[in-house]
Amino acid sequence: MNPVRLIYSEDFLHYRFNDSHPFNNKRLKLTLDLIRSFHLLDENAILAPRLATDQELTRVHDRDYIAMVKEADSGQVSCNQLQKYGLDTQDNPVFPGMHTTSALIAGGTLAAAEEVMSGRAEHTLNLSGGLHHALRGKASGFCIYNDASVAIAHIREKYGARVLYIDTDAHHGDGVQWSFYGDPDVLTLSIHETGRYLFPGTGNLYERGHDHGLGTSINIPLDAFTEDASWLDAFRKTVPRTVDRFRPDVILSQHGCDAHHYDPLTHLSTTMKIYREVPQIIHELAHKYCNGRWIAVGGGGYDIWRVVPRAWTYLWAEMTGQPLAEERIPQTWIDQWQTFSPVSLPKTLHDPEGSFQPIPRRSEITQKNQLTVQQALRLIDLVNSHIDG
Amino acid sequence: MLVEEIMHSKIYSVTPCTSIQEALKQMKKHHVRHLPVIDGDQLVGLVTDRDLRSASPSTLAPKELQELLKRPVSEIMVAPAITVHPLDFLEDAARLLYENRIGCLPVLKGDRLVGILTETDILHRLMEIFGVNHPSQHVEVEVEDQIGILAQVANIFSDHRVNINSVLVEGNPAKGKINLVFRVQAKDLSKIVRDINRAGHRVLWPQHLSGPNQGEMT
Ligand SMILES: [Zn+2]
Ligand SMILES: [Zn+2]
């Protein structure tokens, strides 16, 4: 059996906008440490990323934008110029080495894709990837280069494979959706909190793709405060059916974990349960439909102490065929990190029953989501209907 | 915002003697729900898919239906149609649509038909006014109804280098209060919410049910 690879470098930690910015890649350190404390990481499985080349970046980004990202930290560019490209804003301040670190992350997802497509690895994971908001010519929502789009464009060009992109971040995967909005061979599916109030505002059911790509953009916007049962119901009903209709050659999944109750940036109210089950389902689908070809990336996740390490430990455990159930967290990990954490660290990988108060208006929210799922299913059933004969 | 800025200048039309059947076909072909009726270069009326459908009820026997479909649109068109001028304000056009419960307004310059404005066009423009056409999110603040208050709150956004896509001022049931509804280009609102509350205003959204704010995590 081909190995499973983790793409990682300490340099990923330089993706840091400033000290008070919510995007903090220290979470990668916390996560790897937790994975190691469960003895789930064979050090030979780690593969260093490379830098994405300009040529690879220009498949999904404008040249002038890349030039601006390279220049941004020189101190020679005016704020007005930077702001035209979404930079020097609260969300995306300029930081030293911004181009190099961002290109390294994109290169990490490219390496992850290349390992899988070449057959050298069965599954690969780049936890620093999943920067799904970056647009063709603009930084957006803490994302500079859209690593998933860069990798998908590479797979399209070099292998001509059909790619299914699954995005379970609480925010809509807008950047990736727009990158392939007209491409019938890339289907983007995003399950997220409705954009009515939340950033970036898009991700409506009716955003279905255009021209030849009509029908290959699927969106499932869930109501604010959605909990596990309703969230999982939406995922279980839509994702396997989409895979069955679209018949991808490879799956690239984004595993932002900001839909958790603890996350400070969104209003979804799920628990660790979804972060255990989502990788299981995708793993099974990858083997059933794609000969195992599965590339996974990280994404959002702003409770870096209580949510991200646990969610991504479940993910890696599943990918490497050593799935974890409801387990106690090794005391060594807690001892090592508790002094640095502003919150009390969890004792178990899962959130024990009763960890959170049930939300008000649960039945209304569940009903509303059911309706959304029904409408999405009608659109999913249209995928590939033209080749049904 | 003027009518001429959002109206459609490409117009599909019929004449008074066009058959109902043909008019239905034209609507389907061009994906429209209204057709102006033109005699020479004069606008004489408007037909809508609703009128056409109610003129050809499905309860009729096939033969009667065939007969009916051959009749001219002049028999069922709305005449005279309610119209607007290209330089009319959008909000006035919207009020006409609403008060007359109609879905479409022909745009006349003198006698000449120069455009068509539909309900959908106005809704689309409304989406832009709400600011949902850029990556952004919703912030709602209850403030005192007094001079300069909008500038005060807007300044907090600019202090945080956050661009505002749109702002609406809405009524508030409480006396002396109004609500400011923003759409802003920011994914992280925590510091902005903190500073708006500190300045003595009350942020109504975003709100978190997840308990105490965790503060800035390091
Ligand atoms: Zn997110
Ligand atoms: Zn496997």
pLDDT (tens digit per residue) in B114-138: 999 998 888 878 777 776 678 999 9
Residue A205 has pLDDT above 90, yes or no: yes
Kindly identify which residue of chain B lies nearest to residue A304, measuring between CA atoms: B217
User: What is the Cα–Cα distance from A88 to A139, expressed in whole angstroms?
Assistant: 10
Terminal Cα distance for chain A, rounded: 37
DSSP-assigned letter for residue B84:
B
A312 has a pLDDT exceeding 90: yes
Contact A89 B162 (CB under 8 A): yes
Residue B54, C-beta contacts closer than 8 angstroms, at least 6 positions apart: none
Contacts (Cβ under 8 Å, ≥6 apart) of B213: A264, B190
Which pLDDT value is given to residue B134?
A: 86
If one counts every other C-beta atom within 10 angstroms of the C-beta of residue B32, the result is 17
Residue A57 near residue A106 (C-beta atoms within 8 A): yes
> In CATH terms, are B3-126 and B134-216 the same topology?
no
Beta-carbon contacts of residue A253 (< 8 Å; ≥ 6 apart): A165, A166, A167, A168, A282, A294, A295, A296, A297
Q: What is the pTM of this model?
A: 0.84
pLDDT of A271: 98
**Percentage of the residues of chain A whose pLDDT score is greater than 70:** 98
* Angle, in degrees to the nearest 10, between helices B119-129 and B90-99: 130
Q: Structural domain boundaries of chain B? A: 3-126, 134-216
pLDDT computed for residue B131 by the predictor: 66
Amino acid at A240: P
The dihedral through the CA atoms of A83, A85, A87, A90 has a sign that is: positive
Q: What is the reported pLDDT for B174?
A: 85
Closest residue in B to A305 (Cα–Cα): B217
Q: What is the model's pLDDT at position A1?
A: 61
d(CA A216, CA A211): 10
Report d(CA A389, CA A378) in Å as an integer: 19
Residue of B138, B183, B186 lying closest to A91 (CB–CB): B186
Judged by a CB distance cut-off of 8 A, whether residue B161 touches chain A is yes
Tell whether the model's pLDDT for residue B175 goes beyond 90: no
Instruction: Please name the member of B185, B188, B218 whose beta carbon is closest to the beta carbon of A265.
Output: B188
Is B196 at the interface with chain A, CB within 8 A? Answer: no
CA distances for B90 relative to A130, B6, B106, angstroms: 42, 9, 13
The Cα of A221 is separated from the nearest Cα of chain B by a number of Å equal to 15
| 3-state SS track over A35-101 | HHHCCCCCHHHEECCCCCCHHHHCCCCCHHHHHHHHHHHHCCCCHHHHHHCCCCCCCCCCCCCHHHH
Q: Residue A162: helix, strand or coil by DSSP?
A: coil
B209 — contact with chain A (CB < 8 Å)? Answer: yes
At B130-165, the pLDDT tens digits run 766 789 999 999 999 999 999 999 999 999 999 999
**Are B135 and A19 inside 8 Å of each other by CB?**
no
Q: Which of A199, A303, A306 to mutate to test the interface with B (most CBs of B within 10 A)?
A: A199
pLDDT of residue A317: 98
- On chain B, the residues whose CB falls within 8 A of the CB of A133 are 135, 187
Q: Does B130 touch chain A (CB under 8 A)?
A: no
pLDDT cut 90: percent of chain B above it: 50
Find the A40 Cα to ligand 2 centroid distance in Å.
15
Active site residues of A: 133
Find, in chain B, the residue whose alpha carbon is nearest to that of A142.
B187
User: Which of A386 and A325 is assigned the larger pLDDT?
Assistant: A325
What residues in chain A have their Cβ under 8 A from chain B's Cβ atoms? 19-22, 24, 83, 86, 88-91, 93, 133, 135, 140-142, 171, 174, 195-202, 225, 261-265, 267, 269, 302-305, 340, 342-343, 356, 359-360
Assign B211 a pLDDT band (cuts: 50, 70, 90). very low
Grade residue A135 by pLDDT with cuts at 50, 70 and 90. Answer: very high
Q: B6 to chain A, minimum CA–CA distance in Å? A: 22
Contact criterion met (CB below 8 Å) for A320 and A43: no
Q: Which of residues 13-42 of B touch A (CB under 8 A)?
A: none
Calculate mean pLDDT across residues B25-39: 89
What residue in B sits closest to A138 (Cα-Cα)? B135
Q: Are B204 and B142 in contact (CB under 8 A)?
A: yes
Looking at CA atoms only, how far is residue A301 from chain B in angstroms?
12
Residue B215's pLDDT is what?
38
Question: Within 13 Å, how many C-alpha atoms sit on residue B198's CB side?
Answer: 7
Q: Above 60 in pLDDT, residue A389?
A: no
State the pLDDT at residue B110.
85
Q: What angle do CA A28, A29, A35 make, to 5 degrees?
A: 85
Beta carbons of A89 and B135 less than 8 Å apart: no
Tokens 């030849």, located at residue:
A212
CATH code for the structural domain at A4-388: 3.40.800.20
Residue A224 in contact with residue A118, Cβ under 8 Å?
no
Q: How much distance in Å is there from the Cα of A122 to the middle of ligand 2? A: 7
DSSP state of A278: H
Here the tokens at position B152 are 């005060």
Measured at the CA of A121, the angle between CA A118 and CA A124, to 5 degrees, comes to: 110
- B210 vs A262: CB contact, 8 Å cut-off? yes
Q: Any bridge partners for residue B180, and if so which?
A: B141, B169
Mutate to test the interface with A, among B136, B165, B210 (most CBs of A within 10 A): B210
Cis peptide before A96 (omega within 30 of 0): no
The CA A255 to ligand 2 mean position distance, Å, reads: 17
- Cβ A302–B216 below 8 Å, yes or no? no
- Between the alpha carbon of residue A100 and those of residues A12, A51, A73, A83, A143, the distances in Å are 10, 7, 11, 20, 14
Domain locations in chain A as residue ranges: 4-388
User: Does B122 touch chain A if contact means CB atoms closer than 8 Å?
Assistant: no
| pLDDT confidence tier of residue B207, bands split at 50, 70 and 90 | confident
Count of CB atoms situated within 10 Å of the CB of A335: 10
Given a cut of 90, whether residue A320 has pLDDT beyond it is yes
pLDDT confidence of residue A386? 58
Q: Does domain B3-126 have CATH number 3.10.580.10?
A: yes
Q: How many CB atoms lie within 10 A of CB A34?
A: 25
Q: Which pLDDT belongs to residue B54?
A: 77
Q: What is the mean pLDDT of residues A89-100?
A: 98
How many Cβ atoms from other residues are within 10 Å of residue B61's Cβ? 8
Kindly report which listed range (A50-54, A320-324, B49-53) carries the lowest average pLDDT score: B49-53
Residue A375 alpha carbon to ligand 1 centre in Å: 24
Spell out the alpha helix ranges (H) of A160-271: 174-179, 228-246
Chain A residues close to B160, C-beta within 8 Å: 90
In this predicted structure, the answer to whether residue B210 has a pLDDT above a threshold of 70 is: no
User: Taking 80 as the threshold, does the pLDDT of residue A352 lie above it?
Assistant: yes
| Alpha-carbon span A101 to A73, nearest angstrom | 12
Average pLDDT taken over every residue of chain A = 96
Of A262, A263, A265, the CB nearest to B187: A265
Give the pLDDT score at B67. Answer: 83
For residue A135, list chain B residues with Cβ-Cβ distance below 8 A.
Answer: 135
Beta carbons of A371 and A230 less than 8 angstroms apart: no
Amino acid at A139: A
Q: What is the pLDDT of residue B212?
A: 38
Distance A264 CA to ligand 2 centre (A): 33
State the residue for tokens 């028999």. B75
- B134-216: which CATH topology? Alpha-Beta Plaits (3.30.70)
Outline where chain A has alpha helix (H).
26-37, 54-57, 63-71, 79-84, 98-118, 147-159, 174-179, 228-246, 272-289, 308-319, 331-337, 362-380
The model's pLDDT over A219-275, given as tens digits with 9 standing for 90+, comes to: 999 999 999 999 999 999 999 999 999 999 999 999 999 999 999 999 999 999 999
Per-residue pLDDT band at A11 (split at 50, 70, 90): very high
Q: How far is CA A155 from its chain centroid?
A: 18
Give chain A positions within 8 Å (CB) of B135.
133, 135, 140-141, 174, 199-202
CB of B195 closer than 8 Å to CB of B128: no
Q: A79: which 2 tokens? A: 């704020």
Q: Note the pLDDT tens digit of each residue in A354-388.
A: 999 999 899 999 999 999 999 999 999 999 865 65
Task: State the distance between the two ends of chain B, measured CA to CA, in whole angstroms.
Answer: 47
CA of A170 to the centre of ligand 1 (A): 5
Predicted confidence (pLDDT) per residue in B53-100, tens digit:
777 766 677 787 888 888 899 988 988 899 999 999 988 899 999 888
Are β-strands A294-297 and A250-254 bridged in parallel, bridged antiparallel, or unpaired? Answer: parallel
Q: Are A313 and A274 in contact (CB under 8 A)?
A: no
Report the alpha-carbon distance of residue B25 to residue B21 in Å, rounded. 6
What is the arithmetic mean of pLDDT over A346-357?
96
Q: How far from A275 is each of A112, A170, A249, A283, CA to CA, in Å? A: 21, 12, 24, 13
